[in-house]
Amino acid sequence: MGARIFIDGQAGTTGLGIAKRLAAIPEIALASLPEEQRKDPAAKADLLRQVDLVILCLPDAAAKETVTLAAGLGNAAPRILDASSAHRVAEGWVYGFPELAEEQGDKIRSATRVSNPGCYATGAIALLRPLVDAGLVSADYPITINAVSGYTGRGRSYISYYESEDAPPFELYALGLEHKHVPEIMTYSRLARRPIFVPSVGKFAQGMLVSIPLFVDELPARPKPADLSAALAAHYAGSPFVRIVPADSAERVEPQALNGSNNLELRVFGNEARGHAVLVAKLDNLGKGASGAAVQNLGLMLGLDVTP
């Protein structure tokens, strides 16, 4: 039996990516509202009663409004997958990163409300959580996270700017050090100390690199780079989407090779003589960082074998 899905906010980059992926799944039927009814609460509530699951691809405030509307439907409310940042650390929501821990996939399967991870957060948490759990990185270690994304990660309002001749080839942003992904990075990496997170954007449409430098000789266990890589490999063993790639010091890592996929690659570069290591995550900010992750979560929630 198929499932009816409503993408609330389908016109955005994440919504379009999800719709494109779902169109190839015969068990899925997409429901929608006419343009003139999209801001009509009564019309939206009526549609919510008719679908199995709603995916929210909205600004945070609008996502919260739809969640409130759904809550008022009682037993007639659909399950919710929120691709905004409104509920990523909210009580009663399951974090939609199936690879987070052994039991996370089962939590997503049974959840009525799932929050899709942020793109930067996906890379950072994927690198940090296994190392914290393994005791190789302490929760209070001073973490610095540097990341670069394609410009589609900044939303529709920025895309036309970055596609113009006036846009710079590269720029840092969020330099007030209050980026909205930091709370989820702390929560799901199990960090006790707030990391410094410096995001940037390049003049390319999509693709992402997240890098985390470590002074390994200042970590309690004094791990070697190989120990860090082995801990990551053990955590993600059997994962269809996360791969640990052996790191070559002569390698140059570019951000776009995984575009169009739901894959995530992790590398550990190291210099044992200096006591230095750099953790690197590569992903598509619109794939595993957004639409691909949403479809992966939807498949778990509905018990469907889908390709994100």
Active-site positions? Answer: 119
> Half-sphere exposure of 288 toward its Cβ, with a 13 Å CA cutoff?
32
Q: What size, in residues, is the chain? A: 308
Q: Hunting for tokens 């929120």 — which residue is that?
A: 82
Using an 8 Å Cβ cutoff, are 76 and 43 in contact?
no
As given in the structure block, the two tokens for residue 291 are 């639409």
Element (H, E) at 235: helix 225-235
Q: Report the relative pairing of strands 53-56 and 79-82 from DSSP bridges.
A: parallel
**Structural tokens at position 30:** 């997409």
Residue 253: CB atoms within 10 Å: 16
- Could you tell me which of 129, 104, 118 has the C-alpha nearest to residue 60? 118
The Cα–Cα gap between 292 and 20 comes to 10
**Which residue is listed with tokens 């719709």?**
19
Q: How far apart are CA 208 and CA 204, in angstroms?
A: 10
The single-letter DSSP state of residue 193 is S
Cα Rg of the chain (Å, integer): 20
